[in-house]
Amino acid sequence: MKAVVQRVTHASVAVGGTVVGSIHTGLLVLVGIANTDSLAEVNWMAKKILSLRIFPDSDGKMNCSVVDVEGGILLVSQFTLYGELKKGTRPSFIKAANPDLAEPLFNQLVETIASNTSVQVATGKFGEMMQVALENDGPVTIVLERHSSDIGPSMI
């Protein structure tokens, strides 16, 4: 599982011109799910997203999580994070999970995050063409990645 986490002042996602999810200060998280991912990756990613300390404390140091600042989290599924360009210029997505696997894992990630925090959690619409708007704050962008072969499962 891969996630591109961006600290934002606000972000929204629209489908067909209609906003389906939005947040103010918080995290925009683009989520890619691999064909080898399981609940272990979901739990690890949820814990990392909730505890990632990339917001400034009173001294201006990155020392606070989205929970600490009572921000929001906007999760958007994005299979293109698993695009590979080993040959040519057209990406291959063979490592990305098929929707039958990816959608339940994405939904479980949303549920795991939402059930472990009181901050606002919003999403895009799985499998749809979406327009994502954001104002990156900093800019601060972090890439998180966990493979099924990484050591030990993580529980929230």
Please say if the pLDDT value at position 155 is more than 50.
Answer: no
Burial zone of 129 (CB within 10 Å; 0-12 exposed, 13-18 middle, 19+ buried): exposed
Mean pLDDT confidence for 98-118: 97
Peptide bond into 139 cis (omega under 30): yes
Q: Is 141 a catalytic residue?
A: no
pLDDT top residue among 149 and 146: 146
Q: Is 78 a catalytic residue?
A: yes
Q: Is 117 a catalytic residue?
A: no
Of 6, 55, 78, 112, the active-site residue reads: 78
Please say if the pLDDT value at position 156 is more than 70.
Answer: no
Domains of the chain, first to last: 2-145 (3.50.80.10)
Of 6, 9, 55, 79, the active-site residue reads: 79
Please say if the pLDDT value at position 102 is more than 60.
Answer: yes
